[in-house]
Chain A
């Protein structure tokens, strides 16, 4: 039963929490830029409004991909909160992201095409670090199961400091935040039209938003895993990481793709792999 409780909570509360987080994001960002900012509930108003809009498409098939993107993101988060295999969660996440990218390709506009290509570059940039994170957690807890990792007695972050930092770096890319918002930015001033979402409108765009809410909650859940032995600390750390991501988002301008991938891979090698190397050396002694 305890297996199912987090799953049910995630499915029900996930979008609400995600929407609220998005609202705070906009409010905090506004304050950092000396603006008042919208109400906290603004993301919900946006999505409701989007749902009432006309469905404009360039290619008739494009919105099906978005629907499956949403379904698979929910599925991914569901797997995570149901406590299943971490690697499987990553693969499901990849599948979801590929659906999104293929939808943008199908839309056949130059801007969504570039957005899709750049989204792929971003995926290539963060994927190694995400996988290394799962491997690091496995080395400490001897299990890939989220359930077992969460039930592990010690603070994972103590054994995995490098991996934790690398993971936060990868999150920056995964959240599509500056300086790694190549595929689609929230900030109008550094956007190439609207990147990967250029040709999506109405309900499809609303689905993309909701998918991001689900996704963000799931990713913060993963941050929590590093601190799962002390639940309160875990929640605080997740929120702190989210705040940090917002801060970085507002401080940096967008990087070029080459710098993005080089940086992300260098971090994955130095912090992620370095940590794993250290762990296995310690293990041998």
Chain B
């Protein structure tokens, strides 16, 4: 088992190092495919093997390890310092100096006295995260092979081709994420945490345009702020308790661990792009689509909510927990409202990510068994469906040269396969009986049980969710101007990833009872001594609904039988082109349709300004409350 964990962490790192030197496309393809396959097999093995909570450490004396980790820390700090100085960004310089100074002082002062029984550990939650990271992340790497070739050869010839670096970083990112999931030693956890920050910084700035550089720097400083909070949390906890283990921290009483837990929640909130830090994730869209997919679904932001959910037992029923829950609730509402107002596909997806993560943060803040159960479910379903949507949008962007939702009008006719996959992804995001809805239901129940007044955020936010997804679905389905179907919609790697994820969206729902009873419930049971579930009867009803939904495509066997096709009503004499009509006085009128964006009601700038102010206040209050 220990070997497997180490392999899962180290193989992606090794692959990354190799890929850095590979310039041949064919060789890269073989290598990426092989490593992806290996990682997938590894995580599946992990799933199949029986796991309880297990602490384990490499038996080497940890003096060596702490030296090595210190070296990595210093190297990363120096790189960030270099970046900060070169970009003349005083905030980054200040944050990294504070953090590195603190950690180095800590290593010399306390590092050798710390008790760490096991550096790595694995439990059911970690297994789930690993599976998402391995399978979804692997799918993204496969997709990126074709996507990046088209990116440099067709869509963006002006951008320097740095694919070796790109693929190397994808795998380093994956390895760091595995490390973060399995780390029990808090110092290690922090190193992997900072590694994901650095990887995302470089990947967001991949195109090296001014916008990309600016957004990458923003992502960097925001995540460094979280990193600083992380460092302070480690120092505080280790000084108080003499232990440097995550598991000890989780099992501690709030009186001992509340302030460190609050700071770790702060770090989690920065990383999962909650208000007031959501702007870095929105800015991250400038990167090529596989990066967005990676950041949004399997790595980065999931690391943030992972940490918040880990802290849930400590902050449950405290004021800190309430503050965290409020940040989550507000971010959910504001993110969902903002998603209505924008017509840029990736931006809608980004807002939806922010909103869904906010639900998970809300669950973490509540910290009851039921809430944590719902939060873990959200992580699983969101990763799959959101990744699918990003990958589809990436394909559409290459073929139609636009990522505007209005340009996707009639996609069902131009690119039927991709459109159907997108529809599946969107249905997966908000419709019964798909996964996200099951988990939203679970969240709602958990919130009503824990503190019913907080449900106000969920009811308003989720009705906005319904609006922006459904109108996007509609845009894909309506065909005003039949156009030429796009030739060769999907390349091989792309289709493996997209079809695979679409199948996973269905399977996650079909096997939901199994996922819940075999993985999520045992984890919650282990932490809280009690668990939650949806109840047998409700599961059967969900199954029935699934059958109805699956019957829908089958009913298309009757497609076009017994009907007479006519022109749509236009309020005048239709013109042959179908996009206009002859109105009164013989004037030709053209017909255009646009979605509603309700900008008169929801103002994106206003929403985000007040969201930032409120949530920043809440976070400040959280730290103060934890301090007292």
Interface centre among B566, B568, B593, B598 (most CB of A within 10 A): B568
A258 touches B600 (CB 8 A): yes
Contacting B at CB under 8 A, from A227-262, are 257-258, 261-262
For the complex, give the distance between the alpha carbons of A121 and B433 in Å.
Answer: 22
Q: Which of B166-174, B213-221, B467-475 contacts the other chain?
A: B467-475
For the complex, give the distance between the alpha carbons of A60 and B412 in Å.
Answer: 13
Q: Knowing A79-B541, A117-B471, say if A102 contacts B477 (CB, 8 Å).
A: yes
For the complex, give the distance between the alpha carbons of A111 and B480 in Å.
Answer: 12
Instruction: Kindly list chain A residues whose C-beta atoms are within 8 Å of the C-beta of B542.
Output: 88
A214: interface (CB < 8 Å): no
A68 touches B548 (CB 8 A): yes
Q: Knowing A58-B567, A67-B555, A101-B470, say if A127 contacts B463 (CB, 8 Å).
A: yes
Q: How far is the CB of A265 from chain B (nearest CB, A)?
A: 7
B479 touches A108 (CB 8 A): yes
B565: interface (CB < 8 Å): yes
A92: interface (CB < 8 Å): yes
A117 touches B431 (CB 8 A): no
B431 touches A60 (CB 8 A): no
A84 touches B541 (CB 8 A): yes
Instruction: Kindly list chain A residues whose C-beta atoms are within 8 Å of the C-beta of B475.
Output: 105
Instruction: Kindly list chain B residues whose C-beta atoms are within 8 Å of the C-beta of A108.
Output: 478-480, 568
Instruction: Kindly list chain B residues whose C-beta atoms are within 8 Å of the C-beta of A276.
Output: 452-453, 455-456
Instruction: Kindly list chain B residues whose C-beta atoms are within 8 Å of the C-beta of A127.
Output: 459, 462-463, 466
A109: interface (CB < 8 Å): yes
Instruction: Kindly list chain A residues whose C-beta atoms are within 8 Å of the C-beta of B568.
Output: 58, 107-112, 198-199
B contact patch SS: helix
A contact patch SS: helix
Instruction: Kindly list chain B residues whose C-beta atoms are within 8 Å of the C-beta of A68.
Output: 548, 551-552, 555
- B 471-495 binary contact with A (CB < 8 Å = 1; else 0): 1011101111000000000000000
A120 touches B432 (CB 8 A): no
Q: Knowing A84-B537, A102-B470, say if A124 contacts B437 (CB, 8 Å).
A: no
Contacting B at CB under 8 A, from A110-149, are 110-114, 116-117, 120-121, 123-125, 127-128, 131-132, 135, 138-139, 144
Q: Which of A11-19, A38-46, A49-57, A151-159 contacts the other chain?
A: A49-57
Q: Knowing A84-B537, A110-B593, A258-B601, say if A123 contacts B467 (CB, 8 Å).
A: yes
A57 touches B563 (CB 8 A): yes
For the complex, give the distance between the alpha carbons of A261 and B566 in Å.
Answer: 35
For the complex, give the distance between the alpha carbons of A51 and B459 in Å.
Answer: 39
Q: A202: nearest residue on chain B (CB-CB)?
A: B563
B441: interface (CB < 8 Å): yes
Instruction: Choose among B556, B558, B564, B591 the residue that contacts A57 (Cβ–Cβ < 8 A).
Output: B564
B569: interface (CB < 8 Å): yes
B563 touches A56 (CB 8 A): yes
A72 touches B463 (CB 8 A): no
Contacting B at CB under 8 A, from A33-87, are 54-61, 63-64, 67-68, 71-72, 75, 79, 84-85, 87
A20: interface (CB < 8 Å): no
Instruction: Kindly list chain B residues whose C-beta atoms are within 8 Å of the C-beta of A121.
Output: 467, 596, 598
For the complex, give the distance between the alpha carbons of A110 and B451 in Å.
Answer: 45
Instruction: Choose among A84, A101, A128, A279 the residue that contacts B538 (Cβ–Cβ < 8 A).
Output: A84
A193 touches B431 (CB 8 A): no
For the complex, give the distance between the alpha carbons of A184 and B477 in Å.
Answer: 21
Instruction: Choose among B453, B459, B560 the residue that contacts A131 (Cβ–Cβ < 8 A).
Output: B459
For the complex, give the distance between the alpha carbons of A269 and B455 in Å.
Answer: 12
Instruction: Choose among A57, A113, A117 the residue that contacts B565 (Cβ–Cβ < 8 A).
Output: A57
Q: Knowing A95-B432, A102-B470, A280-B452, say if A64 contacts B538 (CB, 8 Å).
A: no
Instruction: Kindly list chain A residues whose C-beta atoms are within 8 Å of the C-beta of B565.
Output: 56-60
For the complex, give the distance between the alpha carbons of A98 and B470 in Å.
Answer: 7
Instruction: Choose among A54, A60, A87, A199 the residue that contacts B445 (Cβ–Cβ < 8 A).
Output: A87
Instruction: Kindly list chain B residues whose C-beta atoms are within 8 Å of the C-beta of A116.
Output: 474
Total cross-chain contacts (CB, 8 A) = 185
A124 touches B453 (CB 8 A): no
B545: interface (CB < 8 Å): yes
For the complex, give the distance between the alpha carbons of A10 and B556 in Å.
Answer: 29
B44: interface (CB < 8 Å): no
A60 touches B560 (CB 8 A): yes
A9: interface (CB < 8 Å): no
A193 touches B571 (CB 8 A): yes
Chain B contributes a number of interface residues (CB within 8 A of A) equal to 63
Q: B593: nearest residue on chain A (CB-CB)?
A: A113
Q: How far is the CB of B425 from chain A (nearest CB, A)?
A: 15
B478 touches A120 (CB 8 A): no
For the complex, give the distance between the alpha carbons of A73 and B545 in Å.
Answer: 12
B437 touches A56 (CB 8 A): no
Q: A136: nearest residue on chain B (CB-CB)?
A: B452
Q: A118: nearest residue on chain B (CB-CB)?
A: B596
Q: How far is the CB of B231 from chain A (nearest CB, A)?
A: 39
Q: How far is the CB of A124 from chain B (nearest CB, A)?
A: 4
Q: A64: nearest residue on chain B (CB-CB)?
A: B555
A262 touches B601 (CB 8 A): yes
B467 touches A124 (CB 8 A): yes
A123 touches B466 (CB 8 A): yes
Q: Knowing A123-B466, A135-B452, say if A91 contacts B441 (CB, 8 Å).
A: yes
B11: interface (CB < 8 Å): no
Q: Knowing A71-B548, A75-B545, say if A135 contacts B470 (CB, 8 Å).
A: no
B566 touches A95 (CB 8 A): no
For the complex, give the distance between the alpha carbons of A106 and B477 in Å.
Answer: 5
A72 touches B548 (CB 8 A): yes
A222: interface (CB < 8 Å): no
Instruction: Choose among B448, B477, B570 the residue that contacts A105 (Cβ–Cβ < 8 A).
Output: B477
Instruction: Choose among A60, A67, A92, A101 the residue that contacts B563 (Cβ–Cβ < 8 A).
Output: A60
For the complex, give the distance between the alpha carbons of A50 and B8 in Å.
Answer: 64
B444: interface (CB < 8 Å): yes
B459 touches A132 (CB 8 A): yes
Instruction: Kindly list chain B residues whose C-beta atoms are within 8 Å of the C-beta of A95.
Output: 431-433, 545, 549
For the complex, give the distance between the alpha carbons of A68 and B591 in Å.
Answer: 29
Kindly list 12 other residue pairs between chains A and B, CB separation below 8 angstroms, not including A59-B565, A135-B459, A193-B571. Answer: A56-B563, A67-B555, A79-B541, A87-B444, A88-B538, A91-B437, A95-B549, A98-B466, A105-B474, A120-B470, A131-B455, A276-B455
- 30 interchain pairs, CB-CB under 8 A: A55-B564, A56-B564, A57-B563, A57-B565, A60-B559, A60-B563, A61-B559, A64-B558, A67-B555, A68-B552, A75-B548, A95-B431, A95-B433, A104-B474, A105-B477, A106-B477, A111-B568, A111-B569, A113-B593, A123-B463, A123-B470, A127-B459, A128-B460, A131-B455, A131-B463, A135-B444, A193-B569, A258-B601, A268-B459, A276-B452
Interface of A toward B, CB cutoff 8 Å:
54-61, 63-64, 67-68, 71-72, 75, 79, 84-85, 87-88, 91-92, 94-95, 98, 101-102, 104-114, 116-117, 120-121, 123-125, 127-128, 131-132, 135, 138-139, 144, 193, 198-199, 257-258, 261-262, 265, 268-269, 273, 276-277, 279-280
Interface of B toward A, CB cutoff 8 Å:
431-433, 437, 441, 444-445, 448, 451-453, 455-456, 458-460, 462-464, 466-467, 470-471, 473-475, 477-480, 535, 537-538, 541-542, 544-545, 548-549, 551-552, 555-556, 558-560, 562-571, 591, 593, 595-596, 598, 600-601
Across the A-B interface, the 3 shortest Cβ-Cβ residue pairs: A109-B568, A105-B474, A127-B463
